[in-house]
């Protein structure tokens, strides 16, 4: 049997499937319009904020390998991208969302299945019969050259005879069909598919946001170790200076030149520096533990910084485009927008539930009592069972689902707007610090120089008997605090560049 013979007479069934697919063109989802962000059109500049540099590179398009210039830091970041468990969870979430989307998308097309069967039946034959009659028969036999004729006549009654037997019946069939395919006239399935797609895209942006945040956190943790190493070295150096002062005042006290008060005051500074060293050693150890957790593997000492100094881990970058539209490229903002579009599609699916649901079950096949004739002429069969379902009374369930979808969209709008506003504030804060950080570094460096000179002068005046020892101690404490603050300010400068990279949605290459 040819394929055309099998399809002959089944064109109405195929036409029904094609028409149902073509009619699925109505979409009840609201037309999506991006909400107003609620932030100024431009990022702040001038005054406290830095002015845009015309020759600067756009940080949103600078990959992290170009942004972070320290080779050791680059290696640590790459190791974190390979091993961080939070990033692995985010990647798994993307795979889950993609699988969910593919599952939902499958409802757009009929699920076609092939089935074949063979049935074997053994039928038992049996019954009682009574027959009465006369039989006359003539027969002849021939053997060799001898011929004879015999004739006999028999008349009798055969009654109550029972006959038994069985017969085998085989039946073969093959079918291709669809089961309960929903003809998406009002866009319910398409809107659910769109919602699944947007959730998948949102999850992708969430992974990208996690990746950028991880890079920034690793860089910050690396700078924290460098800063604490600087603080520790400063405290150890200061401890030596305080020890010399303590030894001097103790010796003067023993010979009666200085009072016990001066000796105890010198010891106060010395013990404070000892305490700072112990605290900073703990901080450095905890900083390394935190970095190991971010990286997802131990970081060998060769890749750890030994000092922060005046070096900078990242390039000096300011965005050339200060329009607030740059925030729309941030992955967390894109994630919130995809989730908003998904909720918009869910409204369309909820609206479609008020309308009839049309589904179709159909099969096209062949049936025969012989396997060899399964596709022979005249063996084709088909069946079609369209159905329609219209909700009449459901206790308000459909209306409740629509209200829930609308409320979820309102929440998504608020979340989207807040995400943009939060992004604007983070960038504005980072720019505000960037606009004044160089002035802070300059002022703090000058303060350190002045404090060191004052400490040296007060020590000389004390030794010359001009000033009291209390003035010398106060000058030493001031110089120590100024140097500590300079280290902190330098750390803030490095952290500010990292924050600009993160807040502006820095590149990932």
**Residue by residue, what is the 3-state secondary structure of 273-292?**
HHHHHHHHHHHHHHHHHHHH
Indicate the SS3 state at residue 384.
strand
Q: Is residue 147 part of a domain?
A: no
Mean pLDDT computed over 155-175: 64
Q: Which residues pair with 164 in a beta bridge?
A: 126
Predicted confidence band of residue 150 (pLDDT cuts 50, 70, 90): very low
- pLDDT (mean) for 8-28: 55
In this predicted structure, what is the pLDDT of residue 1? 42
Please tell me the distance from the alpha carbon of residue 205 to that of residue 330, in angstroms, as a whole number. 9
In a domain, 456, yes or no: yes
Predicted confidence (pLDDT) per residue in 224-282, tens digit: 999 999 999 999 999 999 999 899 888 988 888 788 888 898 999 999 999 999 999 99
3-state secondary structure of 131: strand
Strand partners, 382: 364
pLDDT of 397 over the 60 cut? yes
Domain presence at residue 144? no
What is the domain extent for residue 329? 3-117+170-503
Q: Which structure tokens are listed for 20?
A: 């149902």
Q: What is the CA radius of gyration of the chain?
A: 45
Token pair belonging to 335 = 């994630």
**Is the model's pLDDT at 51 over the cut of 50?**
yes
Parallel/antiparallel/unpaired status of strands 146-183 and 357-368: antiparallel
Distances (CA, A) of 240 to 1, 32, 235, 245, 273: 103, 69, 9, 9, 9
pLDDT for 492 beyond 80? yes
Q: Which residues pair with 135 in a beta bridge?
A: 154
- Bigger pLDDT: 19 or 161? 19
Looking at the DSSP bridge assignments, the partners of residue 357 are 389
- Report yes or no on 43 lying in a domain: yes
pLDDT at position 148, please?
38
Q: What angle do CA 446, 436, 62 make, to 5 degrees?
A: 120
Task: State the Cα–Cα distance between residues 59 and 501, nearest whole angstrom.
Answer: 6
Q: Coil, helix or strand for 389?
A: strand
**Domains: count for the chain:** 1
- How many residues are listed for the chain in this entry? 509
In a domain, 71, yes or no: yes
Residue 124 lies in a domain: no
pLDDT in tens, 350-381: 999 999 998 989 888 888 877 777 777 778 88
CA atoms lying within 13 Å on the CB side of residue 425? 6
Nearest to 458 by CA among 251, 245, 174, 221: 245
Host H or E run for residue 40: none
Q: CATH number, domain at 349?
A: 1.20.1600.10
The pLDDT confidence band at residue 311, using thresholds 50, 70 and 90, is confident
- Mean pLDDT over 329-334 rounds to 93
Q: What is the pLDDT of residue 318?
A: 65
The C-alpha atoms of residue 305 and residue 297 are separated, in whole angstroms, by 17
Give the mean model confidence (pLDDT) for residues 483-494: 95
In the DSSP assignment, the letter for residue 299 is P
Residue 53: per-residue pLDDT = 64
Domain assignment present for residue 146? The answer is no
> Mind listing the pLDDT tens digit for each residue in 463-473?
888 888 889 88
pTM exceeds cut of 0.75: yes
Q: How far is CA 253 from CA 187, 224, 264, 271, 468, in A?
A: 94, 42, 10, 18, 15
Alpha-carbon gap, residue 269 to 448, rounded angstroms: 18
Residue 130 lies in a domain: no
| Burial profile 419-456: b = 16 or more Cβ within 10 angstroms, e = fewer | bbebbbebbbebbbbbbebeebbeebeebbeebbebbe
* Tokens at 21, concatenated: 């697919």
Show Cβ contacts of residue 426 under 8 Å, excluding neighbours closer than 6 positions: 499, 503
């Amino acid at each position: 049997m040819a394929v055309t013979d099998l399809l002959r007479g089944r064109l109405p069934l195929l036409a029904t499937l094609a028409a149902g697919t073509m009619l699925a063109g109505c979409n009840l989802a609201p037309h999506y319009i991006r909400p107003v962000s609620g932030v100024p059109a431009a990022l702040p500049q001038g005054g406290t904020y830095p002015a845009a540099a015309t020759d600067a590179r756009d940080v949103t398009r600078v990959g992290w390998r170009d942004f972070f210039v320290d080779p050791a830091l680059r290696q640590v970041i790459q190791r974190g991208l390979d091993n961080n468990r939070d990033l692995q969870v985010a990647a798994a979430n993307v795979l889950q969302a993609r699988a969910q989307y593919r599952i939902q998308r499958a409802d757009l097309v009929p699920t076609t299945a092939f089935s074949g069967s063979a049935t074997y039946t053994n039928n038992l034959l049996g019954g009682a019969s009574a027959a009465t009659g006369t039989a006359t028969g003539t027969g002849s036999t021939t053997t060799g050259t001898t011929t004879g004729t015999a004739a006999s006549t028999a008349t009798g009654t055969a009654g109550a005879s029972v006959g038994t037997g069985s017969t085998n019946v085989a039946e073969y069939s093959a079918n291709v069909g669809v089961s309960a395919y929903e003809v998406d006239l009002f866009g319910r399935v398409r809107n659910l598919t769109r919602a699944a797609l947007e959730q998948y895209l949102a999850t992708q942006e969430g992974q990208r946001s996690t990746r950028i945040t991880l890079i920034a956190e690793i860089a910050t943790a690396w700078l924290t170790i460098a800063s604490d190493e600087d603080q520790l070295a400063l405290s150890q150096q200061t401890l030596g200076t305080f020890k010399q002062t303590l030894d001097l005042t103790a010796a003067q006290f023993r010979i009666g030149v200085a009072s016990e008060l001066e000796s105890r005051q010198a010891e106060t500074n010395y013990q404070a520096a000892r305490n700072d060293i112990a605290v900073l050693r703990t901080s450095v150890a905890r900083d390394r533990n935190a970095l190991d957790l971010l990286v997802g593997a131990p970081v060998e000492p060769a890749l750890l910084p030994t000092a922060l100094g005046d070096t900078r881990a990242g390039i000096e970058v300011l965005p050339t485009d200060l329009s607030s539209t740059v925030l729309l490229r941030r992955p967390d903002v894109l994630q919130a927008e995809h989730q908003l579009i998904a909720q918009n599609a869910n409204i369309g699916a909820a609206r479609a539930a008020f309308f009839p649901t049309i589904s179709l079950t159909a099969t096209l096949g062949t049936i025969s009592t012989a396997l060899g004739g399964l596709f022979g002429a005249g063996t084709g069969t088909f069946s079609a069972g369209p159905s329609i379902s219209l909700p009449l009374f459901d206790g308000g369930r459909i209306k409740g689902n629509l209200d829930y979808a609308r409320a979820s969209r309102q929440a998504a709008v608020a979340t989207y707007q807040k995400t943009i506003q939060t992004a604007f504030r983070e960038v504005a804060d980072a720019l505000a610090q960037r606009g004044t950080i160089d002035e802070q570094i300059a002022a703090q460096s000058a303060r350190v120089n002045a404090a060191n000179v004052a400490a040296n002068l007060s020590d000389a005046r004390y030794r010359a008997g001009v000033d009291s020892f209390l003035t010398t101690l106060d000058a030493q404490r001031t110089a120590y605090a100024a140097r500590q603050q300079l280290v902190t300010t330098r750390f803030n400068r490095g952290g500010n560049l990292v924050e600009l990279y993160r807040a502006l949605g820095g590149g990932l290459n």
